[in-house]
A and B are shown apart, each in its own frame.
Chain A
């Protein structure tokens, strides 16, 4: 089998499973497991192919760009595909007992729609990472947005619905901006293929406007400060597995597209001024998100604001991509950070879901005794915190180190300072939660039992986040494939 088959499997596997899960509601979980199997095999094979033979590309049905659809897997795409698969599998394992908690009509309704939506979301992400033209990327982005909004609305209660509606509004208008930009690019370059656009692009007002529109839309979807306002309510009110997916993957999808846009399609626009603007927004996001996380009274909201902060680190990368090593250090740092934080965030949201189920609330001030009742979840929360703060040997540390040393090498002291302050603030809000969790409970507090698999999934992901640092060299080697670095 050739890499083309694997790429096809990555998109078609979850897509077919989604359609089947929708048609046969009772088989939703089975379909997700089947899709997980297919994607797991395909991703593993694709990683081997990319590491062994460089970038794989495929023209669907033999029609190449600009008319047909090109699929292309380089190191960046493969890394994100693997990350998506890992988190989707974990969420699948977690969601099965989570959704079966009660046997009410609402619960059955939720389960009925959860699996197809999860699978659609997965399809959209895989398609996003593999397609190579701006229009198909728009389609994938739109599908992603709809699946995400529907998943938020799944809870069906007041706050969740309001948050979902707000999210839908932002997502739709952001897509519109993006599409306008794509139309302008097409008008200028007569193509929407990333590589061809890069060849034909001439800096000028039309393309500047186009890039500004697309970037604006994507920044809103990626929830970069100051367009992050929709994220905390949406992420905090969704069911735990959905919050995990949204925070770990969905916002990262938009970020991925920004990378492709700025570093592949239109690198001519990556001027120092633009880089500085991104860097400043990133720095503001780190500080604003962290400070807000410190003041939240609910655990899920705290984690959501911490996501806002973490996204800031990714955008800091834009200002550090000017180094003598062609920015490879900063690039690896940001993507390692992305991977480690995605796992850590998933672990935290899943652990928060466990706490919510056991205690019936997630008020930070009333978390006393949680470490005794749910030791594994508390441990997962702590370990994920270690990665979030960026203490060694976690992936968070490796990423932070690379960004920091890139910043210092380029003499960008303010970037280094923001990274350090951000991690200290992260330590402060994690410590706030852990201190409460380790306080002994008042006797006689009633808790509901939590199935072990829900606890261990959270811990497993936290361990991946912590262990990822040790695989740093290997991941860097993977990321080198298909990039402009020697």
Chain B
């Protein structure tokens, strides 16, 4: 065990230990819990930066442990995993801050933050998994640790939403387990490798590999909310706002999308997958999801529900980018993993602020909120415009590369899908912005709270402002060396390079 593998484990344990300690804290020790939370999240951030620097300098990080005979639990850090781990760690820090402000004075906070930390531990584990079995283990852990967060409020609706969530994800998990065990019986533990790890089976087990691909997509597609497996996501909206951010931007949906990227690039290899003919159906499923999600979002009056359907649609951009062969589309898909996270978390922070400060839950109640919460609404606006794909914001960069990739690959119909989706995005986001800024506010808000100096609690305000700034940065400085795009180009070059 050397310093390198210790750093790797440190990234995992910084949140695991925090979570375990928090479970045993008394409900009243608010200050201690907050410090522990921020300390864990901060430490994780520092370790991730160290990891990034190490990888940049060409060090390799790996750690493994024989979990069962012939079955290693292996962690490692490659370019792909760093993309996801950095995203979730950065967003995690701000979500924690936000959650502390959001849940002030609500019951069962130790339970909440304990599971919150376990949840990010599982996400980090998913990102750092170096083989398929390890991925499966953390993937299931994520399911378990999210459920208590979804049902946190304990209302009949929350429990119902939780039940739907668990039903979908456990079914998906069982299918994934079957797929992993089947592939294991053919090829061993399957370490993740650029350009795929199943070369040897391509000729002898063609038919099996095709079936396996279907099983993998069905299993992971539940978390990635691919239509028709998306039903749980809009219903999980009953959870508190920080949990929604977690589901949509940091952990769950992202884990699904990341899993699909892993399966296509690092288990099958994009070229092998194309050879097997499994990518076109995936591209079609993703396109259907993109359009369907946007159309559904149009008809939602509940703000969080509208955002949820928007997630259904947006996450499939990542899947679409993965399913189209070629480096450009890959860049578009992968970079959207980061961009969608930044955009959607800002939107959910905004929605949470409207609900917490003014008691607003519906789009139809949002008239004039821009005057009462100008900073929150500004952040919300930036993210909404980014989603639509207005240059130079983050969403534009993703869509640009996706369409360029599709044209290069000869899939011209994809550009039509992207254009339609952008129009639909505009159709469901612009009316919100119009109401917020240009319509007069009502005489009285549904349930207004006052938080002193700022328009809302400072923790609730800081988080969306920072993430909105990141949205602008990821778009404006996309071509600089320190941007998600630069990192993603590196991954694509390795997957498709000479």
Residues of B participating in the A interface, judged by any CB pair closer than 8 Å:
66-69, 71, 111, 136-138, 140-141, 143-144, 148, 151, 154-156, 159, 162-163, 166, 170-171, 173-174, 177-178, 181-182, 184-185
Partner of B184, one of A392, A405, A420, A438: A405
In the complex, chain B residues whose CB is within 8 Å of the CB of A439: 154, 156, 159
6 contacts between A and B (CB under 8 A): A328-B69, A420-B177, A439-B156, A440-B155, A472-B67, A476-B69
- B136–A416 CB distance below 8 A: no
Partner of A424, one of B67, B144, B155, B174: B174
In the complex, chain A residues whose CB is within 8 Å of the CB of B67: 398, 469-470, 472-473
**Given the contacts A386-B144, A472-B68, A476-B68, A392 and B136 also touching, CB distance less than 8 Å:** yes
Most chain A beta-carbon neighbours within 10 Å: one of B136, B155, B178, B181: B181
Asked if A173 CB lies within 8 Å of chain B CBs, one says: no
In the complex, chain A residues whose CB is within 8 Å of the CB of B148: 438
Whole-angstrom CA separation of A386 from B122 in the bound complex: 15
In the complex, chain B residues whose CB is within 8 Å of the CB of A416: 178, 181
Partner of B137, one of A329, A375, A393, A405: A393
Partner of B68, one of A402, A424, A438: A402
Closest Cβ neighbor of A385 among chain B residues: B144
Interface string of A459-477 (1 = CB under 8 A from B): 0000000000110110010
Asked if A427 CB lies within 8 Å of chain B CBs, one says: yes
- A423–B174 CB distance below 8 A: yes
Asked if A332 CB lies within 8 Å of chain B CBs, one says: yes
Asked if A409 CB lies within 8 Å of chain B CBs, one says: yes
**Given the contacts A427-B166, A438-B151, A392 and B141 also touching, CB distance less than 8 Å:** yes
Whole-angstrom CA separation of A240 from B71 in the bound complex: 37
Whole-angstrom CA separation of A34 from B136 in the bound complex: 44
- B163–A473 CB distance below 8 A: no
In the complex, chain B residues whose CB is within 8 Å of the CB of A329: 69
Whole-angstrom CA separation of A404 from B182 in the bound complex: 9
CB of B128, distance to nearest CB on chain A (Å): 15
In the complex, chain A residues whose CB is within 8 Å of the CB of B159: 435, 438-439
**Given the contacts A439-B154, A440-B154, A420 and B68 also touching, CB distance less than 8 Å:** no
Asked if A401 CB lies within 8 Å of chain B CBs, one says: yes
Interface string of A323-355 (1 = CB under 8 A from B): 000001100100000000000000000000000
CB of B239, distance to nearest CB on chain A (Å): 14
- B141–A391 CB distance below 8 A: yes
Whole-angstrom CA separation of A392 from B69 in the bound complex: 16
7 closest residue pairs by CB, A with B: A392-B137, A472-B68, A409-B185, A408-B185, A473-B66, A404-B181, A405-B181
- B181–A427 CB distance below 8 A: no
Whole-angstrom CA separation of A163 from B155 in the bound complex: 39
Interface string of A376-412 (1 = CB under 8 A from B): 0000000000100101110001100110110011000
CB of B64, distance to nearest CB on chain A (Å): 12
Asked if A431 CB lies within 8 Å of chain B CBs, one says: yes
- B141–A393 CB distance below 8 A: yes
Q: A residues 271-323 with Cβ under 8 Å of B?
A: none
In the complex, chain B residues whose CB is within 8 Å of the CB of A389: 170
Partner of A420, one of B69, B71, B166, B178: B178
- B143–A391 CB distance below 8 A: yes
Whole-angstrom CA separation of A310 from B163 in the bound complex: 24
Q: A residues 413-450 with Cβ under 8 Å of B?
A: 416, 420, 423-424, 427, 431, 435, 438-440
- B174–A420 CB distance below 8 A: yes
In the complex, chain A residues whose CB is within 8 Å of the CB of B144: 386, 391
In the complex, chain B residues whose CB is within 8 Å of the CB of A398: 67-68
CB of B180, distance to nearest CB on chain A (Å): 9
In the complex, chain A residues whose CB is within 8 Å of the CB of B184: 405, 408
A401-B181, A440-B155, A473-B68 provided; 10 other pairs, C-beta below 8 A?
Answer: A392-B136, A405-B184, A405-B185, A416-B181, A427-B170, A431-B163, A439-B156, A470-B67, A472-B67, A473-B67
CB of B152, distance to nearest CB on chain A (Å): 9
In the complex, chain B residues whose CB is within 8 Å of the CB of A424: 170-171, 174
CB of B304, distance to nearest CB on chain A (Å): 22
CB of B171, distance to nearest CB on chain A (Å): 7
CB of B69, distance to nearest CB on chain A (Å): 5
Closest Cβ neighbor of A393 among chain B residues: B137
Whole-angstrom CA separation of A392 from B145 in the bound complex: 11
Closest Cβ neighbor of B68 among chain A residues: A472
Partner of A391, one of B66, B140, B156, B178: B140
**Given the contacts A420-B177, A438-B151, A332 and B143 also touching, CB distance less than 8 Å:** no
Partner of A332, one of B69, B140, B151, B154: B69
Closest Cβ neighbor of A435 among chain B residues: B159
In the complex, chain B residues whose CB is within 8 Å of the CB of A427: 166, 170
In the complex, chain A residues whose CB is within 8 Å of the CB of B166: 427, 431
- A435–B137 CB distance below 8 A: no
Whole-angstrom CA separation of A386 from B154 in the bound complex: 20
- A473–B69 CB distance below 8 A: yes
CB of A478, distance to nearest CB on chain B (Å): 12
**Given the contacts A470-B67, A472-B68, A392 and B140 also touching, CB distance less than 8 Å:** yes
CB of B464, distance to nearest CB on chain A (Å): 30
Whole-angstrom CA separation of A389 from B147 in the bound complex: 15
Most chain A beta-carbon neighbours within 10 Å: one of B148, B151, B170: B170
Whole-angstrom CA separation of A402 from B159 in the bound complex: 33
CB of B267, distance to nearest CB on chain A (Å): 17
- A408–B141 CB distance below 8 A: no
Whole-angstrom CA separation of A402 from B69 in the bound complex: 9
Whole-angstrom CA separation of A378 from B392 in the bound complex: 51
Whole-angstrom CA separation of A334 from B67 in the bound complex: 16
Closest Cβ neighbor of A336 among chain B residues: B68
Whole-angstrom CA separation of A469 from B133 in the bound complex: 13
In the complex, chain A residues whose CB is within 8 Å of the CB of B163: 431, 435
Whole-angstrom CA separation of A392 from B136 in the bound complex: 8
In the complex, chain A residues whose CB is within 8 Å of the CB of B174: 420, 423-424
Closest Cβ neighbor of B122 among chain A residues: A392
Whole-angstrom CA separation of A476 from B140 in the bound complex: 23
Closest Cβ neighbor of A371 among chain B residues: B154
In the complex, chain B residues whose CB is within 8 Å of the CB of A386: 144
Whole-angstrom CA separation of A469 from B151 in the bound complex: 27
- A438–B137 CB distance below 8 A: no
In the complex, chain B residues whose CB is within 8 Å of the CB of A435: 151, 159, 162-163
- A408–B68 CB distance below 8 A: no
In the complex, chain B residues whose CB is within 8 Å of the CB of A438: 148, 151, 154, 159
Closest Cβ neighbor of B173 among chain A residues: A391
Whole-angstrom CA separation of A329 from B185 in the bound complex: 12
- A408–B170 CB distance below 8 A: no
In the complex, chain B residues whose CB is within 8 Å of the CB of A401: 68, 71, 177, 181
Whole-angstrom CA separation of A438 from B151 in the bound complex: 8
CB of A337, distance to nearest CB on chain B (Å): 12
CB of B68, distance to nearest CB on chain A (Å): 4
Whole-angstrom CA separation of A435 from B166 in the bound complex: 11
CB of B392, distance to nearest CB on chain A (Å): 43
CB of B187, distance to nearest CB on chain A (Å): 12
Whole-angstrom CA separation of A401 from B140 in the bound complex: 13
In the complex, chain A residues whose CB is within 8 Å of the CB of B136: 392
Closest Cβ neighbor of A477 among chain B residues: B69
Whole-angstrom CA separation of A469 from B162 in the bound complex: 26
In the complex, chain A residues whose CB is within 8 Å of the CB of B156: 439
Whole-angstrom CA separation of A472 from B65 in the bound complex: 11
In the complex, chain B residues whose CB is within 8 Å of the CB of A375: 111
Whole-angstrom CA separation of A409 from B67 in the bound complex: 19
In the complex, chain A residues whose CB is within 8 Å of the CB of B111: 375
CB of A286, distance to nearest CB on chain B (Å): 14
Whole-angstrom CA separation of A398 from B111 in the bound complex: 27
Whole-angstrom CA separation of A392 from B148 in the bound complex: 17
In the complex, chain A residues whose CB is within 8 Å of the CB of B66: 473
Closest Cβ neighbor of A473 among chain B residues: B66
Whole-angstrom CA separation of A115 from B162 in the bound complex: 43
- A408–B69 CB distance below 8 A: no
**Given the contacts A402-B68, A431-B163, A408 and B182 also touching, CB distance less than 8 Å:** yes
CB of B8, distance to nearest CB on chain A (Å): 17
